[in-house]
């Protein structure tokens, strides 16, 4: 069997799993087993794909065997495979945590099925080579996220979900406008085909405008400045496990799309588009951190951090050199792992103490040392302290920025790093140090925390194994800075 | 391999602490003392070899694609530091055993301190800038944890955070400097960088590199204006203050500056920055020390001041100045280590460190008093103690600078001025605390410390005397080689306690004379100093800045994060209008507007009615009217499909409209009343502007897109091939299930999720009730 | 009547206006009308269908249609069609796409009805 045809498995497996889960109607332990097996296979498969494409080969196939560009194409390059793998790790980790955290009621109402469908949407977005199909996978991902967010139906939860939903629908409408315009101008939806036609187009004026539409659309999903305001209030209102998967995965799909769009499609005028991206990068970092330092809720603080860290990824994209792209991807990968770990520790804290309000917490380090240290190391990794992964990704960004002479942006990035550390230590200082405000239950929380610990270990491993990681992301960066590779793989070899 | 072992040994031991704690119980401190002692002995055996000019090195590849490799090198400058770290480390661990009660969290304490020791050894053995940086940050973090050791005290947490923020800020800035060095020289390896120093010296980036790297060193070594973290760091247990915040960690900055002397030394900017900041720190520290009440605070400011002195010498950069710097660094580690330990003893045995409560302790604590006297005299620069020798060298170096200008001219005067106050606070420390009569009631009645606790301070005091009496022995065996290690060429200074009547001696005499006079006036002097309070000082700026950051940002965030959906919609549309509309204005040339398909009357009529319905929708004052208007809009869209010959779409649209109407009616009862709050006029205006902007931009886009069809669309292919390849005549359906079947599969998944979601939502809520 | 028309739509969808989507909507409209007219209990009694299960089945059918070609080494969703003689209906066309469409149909009916009954019951 040709491997190319099987790159769609990360989409089909979760869908099949979800259908099975629906059919198991409330038999919770079996549903859990299905989810576990599916996500386990998903991870194994993603790793296999990554091993396959590492050398630079790009796998692709056309659904229904239609000739390109008329059918829907799936393609898997290093970037895609890397994102698949990391999202597989993240979703598996969150699933293991959800087993301990999601209540039986939510579980019975197909929580795990929706979770799998969310993964399906995310994976599809990473793999598709067709811009309308991307829209479809976005919808799958988003609608699953609406359900996951609102499941259980607490008041604050519903209120925030509603806002989140409206904003995202608005963004989706804009997405459609963008797709329609793009189709009207180029007559195609296939991304490789689009890349060729956009590049050879006689007049780039309108195309620049369309590029900006996609910047707004993907930017809203990715929560960049000035489109991030929907995020910080909606995420903390959700159940902790959902919070973790949204924080770790969802916005990153938007980032993935920005990377894809602005390395493959809209590369004709980097002096304009990528300058805007760099400006946005700096503003996003700053806006996120300004939001974060003023917060006293552990989860809302972390949610603002999502925004701030997205800025770093966009910085890599905006620098638009192989090293910049590579560093941006490194940061993206690192951040997905670490952010999830942080949200999981926040989740465990919430499960143990019933709150994540920093004013009400204190002295947790004495009662729950493992929790405290997991948070500590995740926190310093986020802030970019060696030898955690965050150091190398940020350092690569700084090097790329300095190399391309974007001194102002680098200055902002360095200062924001310090504030990141400050806000992480703020959590540590208030929640884990200090005096306990009340008796905390002495319960076994190790199993619930194990995925967070594993993620922190991965972050450390990605730091100690930075050479290997850098080689991988550099290969991805170089591959993406040469769109011909992708175009050829899709247009000629399928 | 051995070097790696030396660095890793403390880390391994740190990891074993929890286990050892169970085995050794409260005696764990004594047990762990072995580790630095063994390392110290090992390093001592390397002394002859290294002093002869050999550099011991080893390297492993790590992140070679970025030039980051695990390079460890031991030359005589590193060795001096390694000896300090392990030597003082041994004494401090021994001392800690007596200082900390068995009730304290000993596991954590020893774990942190050993991790720190390993990190510090890593800093001084690193041969690669990034490895240095890595261990540098480790020391910051372990220091953070140690300052916050008693984390239930607010002052501890405050101090820990301040120390961390300032030193890590420096670290990050320094890292940027290292990155620039890499971009200029292509290497992070110190030896290679030195070999390519011309590249840096000729680079236009030179001033930035120097400034960035020096900020790192300045923050770590508590130089003005970054010195403010050190006094607050005194919240750490006293052995920690002795070890980290006086003898070793704060000297990491000096170590780095020493390392960089061969790179930057001799340039005017280097002298101006390093000596300028150094002398400012020296003066500030000694002035502030005099007015302190807390003995540890006094020592903290004194440390700041002494670090400034050494920094000044590194800036001067002559072989004599370097030798003096190294010598004073060595002396300071000894006498300041001893002083911290005795202050810890005083605190331990009397229950207070407040100078206003103490007095006349010499009777009860004779050994402690003797040690304090020796160390304080050394600090004051009195013969025959070690400090006298290095202070004389300092004076001599300031009198003969290689540079000219106002700073060089001012140096000797400032040096003497600052030293006078150093003399004053040294005397304060000894005479004020140990003689006279007690000034107040101490919480505990004072008595002498246990003999083993005194081992550390006594050893250091003896070292101080020995160095003072035999300066040339220490000079030839440690100081000259270390200075040679810095400069990369042999240094042949000779050190004597007495070298005739020279300018430095006169300066010393002046210092002692003026200092004695001032000490006799100590009470009024302290009162005067306490009155002087500067409104603008770095501490206030720090507190104000953090406060602004927390509260200001919270206010700012609350201002725009209103929680109202309609505001968010305005933001998103606004961003769309600005980014997309703006780009449109900038990038798109005039549109060719008159090439559209002809519009017939029928279509026009429909369009008009459509617009009317929309207007009704906007103006609707109740939900029912709004709903009906919306329905009409929907049906009009359906009719458009009919007009443009798309029966499938029309049918779908119709049914969707019908079903959603039913859904709406079902949900109707549960919805809150319509338009509860009437909006302010201003808001409505903003809404209108954004909405219009959005409309204009999208309409413009649609028209332009219509006018610029650059390529043949895919649909042509679909139309041609649907029968042939898909086996169907209904193009829409063939597209749906064949050409783009995947999209359809996706869309039915979306529908399913929605349905199951609604189902779960409704049922789960129902059950909750 | 509408029900029958909708099934007609489903089957002819490949060649004339129609298809699983619209057919599904039509069918649901039938049920809805019934529901509006007679109320939920009556409907339960004449239509003992588990709508959520219908969704799952429909999805499974569509997915299955797509996966089968993969077993033959073809890409996902590769469809086949041909002519087939049946004793009663005579010569007729077939396409695997119809199966796919049937899945769509089931999903659409399931979805609409699940939502409407869920809302209606509360």
The rounded distance, in Å, linking the Cα atoms of B182 and B196 is 11
Give the three-class secondary structure for A355: coil
**Distance between CA atoms of B230 and B310, rounded to whole angstroms?**
17
Of B695, B710, B725, which closes a domain?
A: B710
Sign of the Cα pseudo-torsion (A130, A135, A136, A138, in order): positive
Residue-level pLDDT at B360: 87
Residues B578 and B645 in one domain: yes
Handedness of CA A410, A416, A420, A422 (dihedral sign): positive
Cβ-Cβ contacts under 8 Å for A387 (sequence gap 6 or more): A460, A463, A464, A466, B134
Angle at B526 between CA B522 and CA B530, to 5 degrees: 175
| Residues paired with B74 in a beta bridge | B56
What kind and span of H or E run contains B59? strand B56-63
* Closest partner CB to C119 (pick from B652, B666, B744): B666
* Side-chain half-sphere CA neighbours of C12 within 13 A: 10
Are B766 and B641 found together in one domain? no
Q: Which of A208, A290, A380 sits opposite B553 (nearest CB)?
A: A290
Q: Please indicate whether, in this complex, the C-beta atoms of B663 and C116 are within 8 angstroms of each other.
A: yes
Decide if B31 is inside a domain: no
> Does the residue B601 lie in any domain?
yes
Contact residues on chain B for C28, CB-CB shorter than 8 A: 659
CA distance B20 to chain A (A): 18
Give the pLDDT confidence score for residue C91 in this predicted structure: 46
Per-residue pLDDT averaged across B361-377, rounded? 93
CA distance B705 to B702: 5
Pick among C5, C22, C36 to test the B interface (most B CBs inside 10 A): C22
Which H or E element spans position B58?
Answer: strand B56-63
* pLDDT above 50 for B178: yes
The predicted model gives A477-487 an average pLDDT of 93
Nearest by CB to residue A22, choosing from C52, C66, C77, is C52
DSSP sequence for A275-339: HHHHHHHHHHHHHHHHHHHT--BHHHHHHHHHHHHHHHHHHHHHH-SHHHHHHHHHHHHHHHHHH
Q: Which value, in Å, is the radius of gyration of the alpha carbons in chain B?
A: 38
Chain A positions in Cβ-Cβ contact with residue C76 (cut-off 8 Å): 5, 8, 12, 61, 63-64
In this prediction, residues C13-42 reach a mean pLDDT of 68
Residues B676 and B760 in one domain: no
Same domain, B566 and B702: yes
CA atoms within 13 A on the CB side of B473: 9
Taking the CA atoms of A216, A220, A222 and A224 in sequence, report the sign of the dihedral they define: positive
Q: Domain for residue B77, yes or no? A: no
Nearest CA among A470, B649, B30 for reference residue C18: B649
- Same domain (yes/no): B609, B596: yes
Does C53 sit within 8 Å of A61, measured CB to CB? no
> Using an 8 Å Cβ cutoff, are C113 and C35 in contact?
no
- The pLDDT mean for chain A works out to 91
Q: CA B540, CA B535: separation in Å to the nearest integer?
A: 8
What is the average per-residue pLDDT within A82-90? Answer: 96
C52 touches chain A (CB under 8 A): yes
Query: Residue C15 is nearest to which of B659, B728, B765, comparing CB atoms?
Result: B728
Q: Is residue B355 within 8 Å of residue B433, measured between CB atoms?
A: yes
Say if residue B731 is in the same domain as residue B625.
Answer: no
Chain center to CA of A269: 27
Summarised one tens digit per residue, pLDDT across range C41-76 is 666 666 667 778 888 888 888 888 888 777 777 777
> Which residues of chain C are within 8 Å of residue A8 when distances are taken between CB atoms?
76
pLDDT at A393: 95
Where does residue A72 rank: exposed (0-12), middle (13-18), buried (19+ CB within 10 A)?
A: buried
Q: How much is the pLDDT for B764?
A: 75
Lowest mean pLDDT across A336-340, A387-391, B205-209, C26-30: C26-30
Yes or no, beta carbons of B175 and A395 under 8 Å apart: yes
Of the partner residues A16, A22, A25, the one whose CB lies closest to the CB of residue C63: A16
| Record: contact A120-B718, CB cut-off 8 A | no
Do B568 and B660 belong to one domain?
yes
Residue in chain A nearest C76 by alpha carbon: A63
DSSP A46: H
Average pLDDT over every residue of B542-566: 86
C115 near A CB under 8 A: no
**More confident site: B724 or B107:** B107
Distance, in Å, from the CA atom of B694 to the CA atom of A484, rounded to the nearest integer, reads: 36
Whether the CB-CB separation of A346 and A352 falls below 8 Å is answered with: no
Q: Which of A4, A6, A59, A65 to mutate to test the interface with C (most CBs of C within 10 A)?
A: A65
CB within 8 Å: B748 and C62: yes
Q: Which of A23, A73, A76 to mutate to test the interface with C (most CBs of C within 10 A)?
A: A23
What distances in angstroms separate CA B52 from CA B262, B470, B494, one per listed residue? 19, 21, 18
Do residue B557 and residue A294 have CB atoms under 8 angstroms apart? yes
DSSP calls for B652-669: HHHHHHHHHHHHHHHHHT
Residue B734 pLDDT class (50, 70, 90 cuts): low
Could you tell me the two tokens for A486? 């992708």
Of how many residues is chain B composed? Answer: 769
Say if residue B661 is in the same domain as residue B703: yes
Between B674 and C107, the higher pLDDT residue? C107
A-B CB pairs within 8 A amount to 287
Predicted local distance difference test score (pLDDT) of residue C89:
45
DSSP secondary structure letters along A102-115: S-HHHHHTTHHHHH
Residues 345-364 of A with CB under 8 A from B: 363
Q: Do B729 and C116 touch (CB under 8 A)?
A: no
Which of B63, B738, B746 faces A140 most closely, judged by CB atoms?
B746
Q: How far is B136 from chain A (nearest CA, A)?
A: 10
Per-residue buried b or exposed e for B651-672, using 16+ beta carbons within 10 Å of the residue's own CB: bbbbbbbbbeebbeeeeeeeee
Given an 8 Å threshold on Cβ–Cβ distance, is A110 in contact with B561? Answer: no
* Predicted local confidence at residue B755, as pLDDT: 85
* Residues B174 and A397 sit within 8 Å (Cβ to Cβ): no
Q: How many domains does chain B have?
A: 2
* Count of CB atoms situated within 10 Å of the CB of B275: 25
**The pLDDT of residue B617 is above 50:** yes
| ipTM of the prediction | 0.93
Which helix H or strand E contains B137, and what residues bound it? helix B129-147
pLDDT of residue A258: 96
End-to-end alpha-carbon separation of chain B, Å? 69
Last residue of a domain, one of B710, B737, B758: B710
Place of tokens 């700026």: B541
Segment holding A62, helix H or strand E: strand A59-63
Q: In this predicted structure, what is the pLDDT of residue B414?
A: 94
- Chain B residue at shortest CA distance from A177: B698
Q: And the tokens for B438?
A: 């007690």
Question: How is chain C split into domains, by residue range?
Answer: 2-121
Q: Which residue has the tokens 């939001």?
A: A291
Using a CB–CB cutoff of 8 Å, tell me whether C96 touches chain A.
no
Q: Tokens 């599904």 identify what position?
A: C24
B-C Cβ pairs (cutoff 8 Å, strict): 145
Task: List pLDDT tens digits, range B109-136.
Answer: 999 999 999 999 999 999 999 999 999 9
Distance between CA atoms of A174 and A214, rounded to whole angstroms? 8
Within a 10 A sphere around the Cβ of B45, how many other Cβ atoms? Answer: 8
Asked if residue B674 is part of any domain, the answer here is yes
Contact B571 A226 (CB under 8 A): yes
Give the confidence band of C90 by pLDDT, cuts at 50, 70, 90: very low
d(CA B576, CA B560): 18
pLDDT of A167-197, one tens digit each? Answer: 998 999 999 999 988 888 888 889 999 999 9
CA distance A296 to A430: 9
Q: Which residues of A touch C (CB under 8 A)?
A: 1-2, 4-6, 8, 12, 15-16, 19, 22-23, 25, 61-65
Cβ of B661 under 8 Å from any chain C Cβ? no
Q: What is the pLDDT of residue A440?
A: 84
How far, in Å, CA of B380 to CA of B386, rounded? 10
CA distance B196 to B181: 10
Whether B700 is covered by a domain: the verdict is yes
**Domain, as residue range, for B653:** 562-710
Question: Reduced to 3 states, what is the DSSP secondary structure of residue B513?
Answer: helix
pLDDT above 60: residue B558: yes
Antiparallel, parallel or unpaired: β C81-86 and C90-95: antiparallel
User: pLDDT, tens digit, for every residue of A387-405?
Assistant: 899 999 999 999 999 999 9
Nearest Cα residue in chain C from B655:
C25
- Over 90: is that where the pLDDT of B296 sits? yes
Q: What pLDDT is stored for residue B588 in this prediction?
A: 78
């Amino acid at each position: 069997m040709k491997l190319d045809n099987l790159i769609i498995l990360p989409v089909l497996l979760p869908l099949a799993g979800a259908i099975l889960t629906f059919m198991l109607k409330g038999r919770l332990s079996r549903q859990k087993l299905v989810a576990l097996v599916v996500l386990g296979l998903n991870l194994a498969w993603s790793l296999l794909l990554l091993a396959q494409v590492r050398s630079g080969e790009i796998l692709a196939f056309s659904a229904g065997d239609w000739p390109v560009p008329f059918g829907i194409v799936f393609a898997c390059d290093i970037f895609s495979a890397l994102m698949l793998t990391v999202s597989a790790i993240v979703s598996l980790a969150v699933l293991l945590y959800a087993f301990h955290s999601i209540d039986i009621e939510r579980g019975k109402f197909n929580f795990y099925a929706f979770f799998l469908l969310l993964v399906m949407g995310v994976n599809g977005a990473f793999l598709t080579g067709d811009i309308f199909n991307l829209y479809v996978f976005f919808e799958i991902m988003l609608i699953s996220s609406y359900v996951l967010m609102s499941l259980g139906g607490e008041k604050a939860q519903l209120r925030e979900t509603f806002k989140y939903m409206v904003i995202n629908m608005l963004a989706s409408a804009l997405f459609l406008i963008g797709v329609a315009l793009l189709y009207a101008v180029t007559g195609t939806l296939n991304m490789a085909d689009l890349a060729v036609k956009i590049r050879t187009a006689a007049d780039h004026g309108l195309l620049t405008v369309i590029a900006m539409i996609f910047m707004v659309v993907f930017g809203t999903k990715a929560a960049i400045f000035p489109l991030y305001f929907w995020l910080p209030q909606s995420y903390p209102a959700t159940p902790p496990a959902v919070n973790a998967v949204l924080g770790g995965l969802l916005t990153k799909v938007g980032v993935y799309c920005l990377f894809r769009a602005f390395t493959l499609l809209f590369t004709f005028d980097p002096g304009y588009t990528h300058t805007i991206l760099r400006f946005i990068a700096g503003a996003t970092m700053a806006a996120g951190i300004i939001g974060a330092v003023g917060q006293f809720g552990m989860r809302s603080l972390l949610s603002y951090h999502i925004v701030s860290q997205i800025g770093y990824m966009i910085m890599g994209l905006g620098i638009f050199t192989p090293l910049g792209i590579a560093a941006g991807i490194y940061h993206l990968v690192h951040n997905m792992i670490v952010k999830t770990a942080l949200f999981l520790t926040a989740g465990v804290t919430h499960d143990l103490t019933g709150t994540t309000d920093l004013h009400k917490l204190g002295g947790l380090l004495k009662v729950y040392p493992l929790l405290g240290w997991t948070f500590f190391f995740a926190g310093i990794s986020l802030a970019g302290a060696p030898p955690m992964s965050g150091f190398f990704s940020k350092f690569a960004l700084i090097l790329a920025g300095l190399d391309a002479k974007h001194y102002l942006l680098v200055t902002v990035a360095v200062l924001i790093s310090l504030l990141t550390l400050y806000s992480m230590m703020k959590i540590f200082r208030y929640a884990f140090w200090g005096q306990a405000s009340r008796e905390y239950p002495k319960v076994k929380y190790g199993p619930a925390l194990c995925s967070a610990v594993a993620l922190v270990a991965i972050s450390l491993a990605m730091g100690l194994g930075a050479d290997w990681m850098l080689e991988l992301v550099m290969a991805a960066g170089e591959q993406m800075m040469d769109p011909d590779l992708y175009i050829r793989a899709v247009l000629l070899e399928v | 391999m051995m070097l790696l072992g030396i660095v890793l040994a403390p880390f391994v031991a740190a990891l074993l602490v929890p286990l050892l704690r169970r085995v050794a119980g409260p005696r764990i401190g004594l047990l762990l003392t072995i580790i630095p002692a063994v390392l110290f002995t090992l390093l001592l055996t390397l002394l002859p070899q290294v002093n002869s000019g050999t550099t011991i090195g080893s390297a492993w590849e790590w992140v070679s694609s970025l030039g980051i490799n695990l390079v460890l090198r031991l030359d005589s400058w590193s060795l001096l530091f390694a000896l300090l770290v392990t030597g003082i480390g041994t004494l401090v661990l021994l001392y800690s055993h007596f200082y900390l009660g068995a009730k304290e969290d000993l596991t954590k304490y020893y774990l942190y301190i050993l991790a720190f020791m390993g990190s510090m050894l890593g800093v001084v053995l690193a041969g690669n800038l990034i490895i240095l940086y890595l261990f540098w940050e480790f020391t910051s973090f372990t220091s953070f944890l140690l300052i916050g050791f008693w984390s239930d005290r607010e002052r501890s947490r405050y101090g820990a955070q301040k120390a961390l923020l300032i030193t890590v800020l420096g670290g990050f800035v320094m890292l940027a400097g290292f990155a620039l060095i890499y971009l200029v020289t292509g290497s992070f390896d110190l030896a290679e960088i030195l070999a390519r120093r011309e590249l840096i010296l000729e680079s236009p980036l030179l001033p930035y590199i120097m400034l960035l790297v020096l900020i790192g060193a300045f923050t770590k070594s508590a130089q003005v204006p970054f010195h403010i973290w050190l006094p607050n760091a005194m919240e750490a247990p006293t052995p920690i203050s002795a070890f980290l915040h006086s003898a070793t960690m704060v000297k990491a900055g000096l170590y780095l500056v020493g390392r960089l002397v061969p790179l930057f030394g001799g340039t005017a900017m280097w002298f101006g920055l390093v000596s300028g900041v150094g002398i400012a720190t020296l003066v500030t520290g000694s002035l502030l020390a005099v007015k302190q009440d807390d003995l540890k605070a006094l020592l903290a400011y004194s440390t700041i001041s002494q670090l400034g002195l050494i920094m000044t010498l590194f800036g001067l950069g002559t072989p004599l100045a370097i030798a003096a710097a190294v010598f004073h660094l060595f002396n300071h580690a000894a006498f300041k280590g001893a002083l911290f330990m005795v202050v810890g003893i005083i605190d331990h045995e009397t229950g207070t460190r407040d100078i206003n409560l103490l007095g006349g302790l010499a009777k009860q604590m004779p050994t402690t008093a003797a040690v304090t006297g020796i160390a304080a005299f050394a600090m004051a620069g009195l013969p025959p103690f070690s400090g006298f020798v290095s202070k004389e060298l300092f004076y001599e170096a300031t009198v003969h600078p290689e540079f000219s200008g106002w700073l060089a001219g001012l140096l000797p005067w400032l040096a003497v001025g600052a030293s006078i106050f150093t003399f004053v606070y040294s005397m304060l420390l000894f005479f004020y605390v140990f003689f006279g009569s007690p000034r107040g009631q101490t919480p505990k009645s004072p008595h002498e410390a246990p003999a083993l606790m005194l081992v550390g301070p006594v050893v250091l005091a003896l070292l101080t005397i020995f160095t003072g009496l035999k300066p040339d022995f220490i000079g030839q065996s440690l100081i000259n080689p270390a200075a040679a290690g810095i400069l990369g060429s042999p240094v042949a200074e000779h050190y004597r306690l007495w070298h005739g009547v020279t300018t430095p001696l006169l300066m010393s005499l002046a210092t002692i004379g003026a200092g004695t006079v001032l000490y006799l006036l100590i009470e009024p002097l302290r009162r005067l100093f306490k009155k002087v309070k500067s409104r603008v000082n770095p501490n206030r700026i720090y507190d104000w800045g953090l406060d602004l950051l927390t509260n200001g940002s919270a206010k700012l965030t609350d201002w725009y994060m209103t929680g109202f959906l309609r505001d968010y919609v305005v933001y998103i549309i606004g961003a769309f209008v600005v980014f997309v509309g703006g780009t449109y204005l900038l990038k798109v040339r005039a549109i060719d507007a008159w090439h559209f398909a002809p519009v017939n009357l029928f279509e026009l009529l429909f369009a008009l009615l459509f617009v009317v319905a929309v207007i009704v929708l906007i103006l609707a004052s109740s939900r029912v009217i709004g709903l009906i208007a919306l329905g009409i809009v929907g049906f009009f869209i359906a009719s458009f499909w009919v007009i443009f010959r798309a029966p499938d779409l029309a049918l779908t649209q119709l049914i969707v409209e019908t079903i959603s109407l039913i859904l709406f009616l079902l949900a109707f009862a549960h919805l809150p009343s319509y338009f509860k709050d009437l909006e302010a006029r201003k808001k409505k205006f903003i809404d209108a502007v954004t909405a219009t902007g959005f409309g204009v931009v999208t309409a413009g886009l649609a028209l332009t897109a219509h006018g610029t069809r650059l390529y043949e669309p895919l649909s042509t292919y679909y139309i041609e091939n649907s029968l042939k390849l898909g086996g169907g005549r209904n193009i829409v359906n063939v597209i749906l299930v064949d050409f783009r079947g995947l999209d359809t599969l996706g869309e039915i998944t979306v529908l399913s999720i929605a349905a199951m979601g609604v189902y779960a939502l409704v049922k789960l809520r129902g059950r909750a009730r | 009547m509408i029900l029958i028309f909708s099934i007609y739509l489903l089957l002819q969808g490949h060649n004339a206006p129609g298809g699983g989507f619209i057919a599904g909507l039509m069918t649901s409209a039938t049920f809805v009308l019934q529901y509006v007219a007679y109320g939920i209990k009556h409907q339960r009694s004449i239509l003992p269908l588990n709508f959520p299960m219908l969704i799952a089945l429909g999805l499974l059918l569509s997915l299955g249609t797509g996966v089968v070609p993969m077993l033959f080494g073809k890409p996902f969703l590769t469809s086949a069609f041909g002519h087939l003689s049946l004793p009663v209906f005579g010569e007729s066309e077939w396409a695997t796409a119809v199966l796919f469409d049937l899945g769509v149909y089931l999903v659409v009916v399931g979805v609409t009805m699940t939502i409407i009954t869920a809302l209606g019951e509360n």
